[in-house]
A = this chain, B = another copy of it.
């Protein structure tokens, strides 16, 4: 007979509220990596988890963990959590929700059911957004081995402070960090790297509008989309807008417009979950009475299946090439980002659906178009993600909102999964 899971949502909401107070001035929440606000939140979390009886430890890059030891002597850790950094003027749910829910779940489980069979850990990753330094997933990336600390000296924030300098200012490169000595010895392993993670489960707001539109409570994430980003440069000839007949023009913007129409048409034909966006576009010289001589724009293309993502990008490049060559324009596609799709574990997805059915919650299978820490774990161990609705699909904004009921639903699905994984004999 399954126990009824009723994790205390009010405790989680209070924790979320307390975390939101650690913010730089301005609208919403601004908690950038290795800033005083971030340090404050990180220390607050350590104290909170310790107070709740979790075994707190940190690592060399500032990730915080809260451990609930399992009674089985061996076996890998079931990790659950998210990140505590935010974008500039972000909301209080993105990342923090997954951390607050994980803390609440572990405390509830230990209080209600005693120690688990398998060890459970909360992870509060130091950084996911890449909002201060031009790299993302610094926290989970150091845990999973994507990073080995080498970036710390070469990457700087807009003020020119390197990642290493920012870490030192937080007391992170001393007292336990082995990054310096590892680098000088030529080893690539980092003290944050862990090989004992057996599963990863992340609860997060959807940041999209699908759950709200379909009035469903829970999103069972099937995969996190892979991304390809490009900077596209289209070169024509700048010329006088009054004296150059239409038939003699090599208008870089007119060519770009045709490419963007082709982009939208191809994306519609490819169908969901493919999304394709040109988000930034610059016209040179950008003068009302001069025919554009050059246009640069960005492409952001995402799909949950690697092969389809690749074939879409290849077909698009061919279509752009045809348009450019027919118009006598020069074309350059510079790849700027490539991440692989990260499929979530199907057994965990099945368990989540079963839990939703048992709890009487509506759910949908969906692809995450946004990136998450879970994509770093998916190639290493079974990983799962649970989404709850975002009002109007808004995130990365002070307007970000999910109702207490929606947040509570996600908490209880997460808690039930952790119970199943850590308490039921496999």
Interface residues of A (CB under 8 A from B): 206-210, 213, 225, 227, 229, 239-248, 251, 253-254, 256-258, 260-261, 263-264, 267-268, 272-281, 283, 286-292, 298, 300, 302, 368-371, 393-396
Q: Are B209 and A244 in contact (CB under 8 A)?
A: yes
Q: Pick from A239, A288, A369 the residue with the most CB of B within 10 Å.
A: A288
Q: Are A393 and B239 in contact (CB under 8 A)?
A: yes
Contacts of A291 in B (CB 8 A): 277, 279
When the two chains form their complex, are residues A370 and B243 in contact, meaning their CB atoms are under 8 A apart? yes
Query: In the complex the two chains form, what is the Cα distance from A247 to B274 in whole Å?
Result: 11
Given contacts A240-B395, A244-B369, A246-B275, list 7 more A-B pairs with CB under 8 A.
Answer: A208-B243, A210-B243, A242-B368, A246-B267, A251-B277, A254-B261, A281-B292
Instruction: Take A278-B253, A279-B290, A279-B292 as given contacts and tell me if A302 and B242 are in contact as well, using a CB distance cutoff of 8 Å.
Output: yes
Can you give 9 contacting A-B residue pairs, CB < 8 Å?
Answer: A208-B243, A210-B243, A241-B279, A242-B275, A246-B268, A246-B272, A246-B274, A251-B264, A280-B286
A213: shortest Cβ distance to chain B, in Å? 7
Q: Which residues of B contact A277 (CB under 8 A)?
A: 241, 251, 288-291
Instruction: Say how far A386's CB is from chain B's closest CB, in angstroms.
Output: 15
Known: A213-B248, A288-B298, A289-B300. A240 touches B207 (CB 8 A): yes
A246 and B292 within 8 A (CB): no
A393 shortest CB reach to chain B, Å = 6
Given A213-B248, A268-B246, A393 and B240 touching (CB < 8 A)?
yes
* Neighbouring B residues of A302 by C-beta, 8 Å: 241-242
Alpha-carbon gap, A257 to B295, bound state (A): 13
Given A248-B209, A300-B289, A242 contacting B227 (CB threshold 8 A): yes
A290 to chain B, nearest CB (A): 5
Question: Does A254 contact B246, Cβ atoms closer than 8 Å?
Answer: no
User: How many angstroms between the C-alpha atoms of A206 and B239 in the bound complex?
Assistant: 13
CB pair B283–A279 under 8 Å, yes or no, is yes
Q: How far is the CB of A322 from chain B (nearest CB, A)?
A: 15
Q: Closest 9 CB pairs between A and B?
A: A208-B243, A242-B369, A257-B260, A241-B277, A288-B298, A242-B370, A243-B369, A257-B257, A279-B288
* Contact between chains at B246 and A257 (CB < 8 Å): no
Q: Are A242 and B288 in contact (CB under 8 A)?
A: no
Pair B275/A264 contact, Cβ less than 8 Å: no
Q: What separation, in Å, do the CA atoms of A158 and B283 have in the docked complex?
A: 22
